[in-house]
Amino acid sequence: MASSLSMQVDSDDSMGTRDRTQNRRVVGLQYPAGSRVSIRYDDGEIARVSFDFTIMDRLVKQCSEALACVLSPPDYCIFYRELITRLQSGLRLDSLTAWDILVTTVKDLFRIQRQPTHSRGRDALLAKAQQSPRRLLRRLAQSMEPQDTKPPAFHPPVCGQVLAQSLMPSVLFALHMVAQNSRCLASTQTDILVLGPLLLDLASSMALVGWWDYWIRLVPYSGSALHEKSKSSTQFQVDDR
């Protein structure tokens, strides 16, 4: 886990220290204190390093803390390692926000297909062009291929481990409680608009009609549709480990 996270070596400078450490192997850790620890290389040198495990986004931090209450330590470690690795990795280059990364992390860990991305503006433009009195515009609109709306397969987790499907109800319950708490304060009520789509997608993937119906009324999210495999399952057991 540590090797995949960003770290700051106390002796790092512009004189090549970083380049020298790239070809060495870490053989030991000692003297941990908070996010700092001493690492021992195979050539005998010891360096003091600091790992950044901090989640800066308030809502992402709240959700992460809520999941710690319903997941066992090994399962939470899988989730937290995946989340922190993604937050500190090159995924930032894709212009994803911290919340986007949390959503994709949860979906990928449970092997939930991501929603297809399509341009509503493009669809509206094509529809308008097809109704245009100008024949050329109509022909151009008709000649354009429709976008593929089939959801892509889930993306494999960066760290290689997934969570058991049986844990999904517990995760839904924890995020549900965060959303309910957000409704109590005027300063956090807008969080419901962010949490709602994820809650709807989780409820939909488990075909939990009652939960899906509850949140679709509060957050009319056009990107979510109830799974067809069941129309009656509204209850689940929450693992209170």
Q: Per-residue pLDDT tens, the chain, 241 aa: give them.
A: 444 444 455 554 433 444 554 578 889 888 888 778 899 999 989 998 877 677 888 999 999 999 999 999 999 999 999 998 888 775 554 456 889 999 999 999 999 887 654 444 556 666 667 777 777 767 776 766 555 444 455 678 888 899 999 999 999 999 999 999 998 988 888 899 899 999 999 999 999 999 999 999 888 765 666 655 444 444 444 444 4
Other Cβ atoms within 10 Å of 60 Cβ, number: 21
Give the C-alpha distances (Å, rounded to integers) separating 194 from 19, 43, 84, 94, 200: 42, 49, 20, 19, 11
**Global confidence as pTM:** 0.64
Contact assessment for residue 170 and residue 71, using Cβ atoms and an 8 Å cutoff: yes
**Of residues 50, 49, 79, 81, the one with CA closest to residue 67:** 79
* CB-based contacts of 64, cutoff 8 Å, min separation 6: 55, 79, 80, 83, 102
Contacts 24+ apart (CB under 8 A), 117-121: 118/147, 118/149, 119/147
Q: Which two tokens stand for residue 189?
A: 């009520």
What pLDDT score was predicted for residue 70? 97
* CB-based contacts of 46, cutoff 8 Å, min separation 6: 30, 38, 39, 40
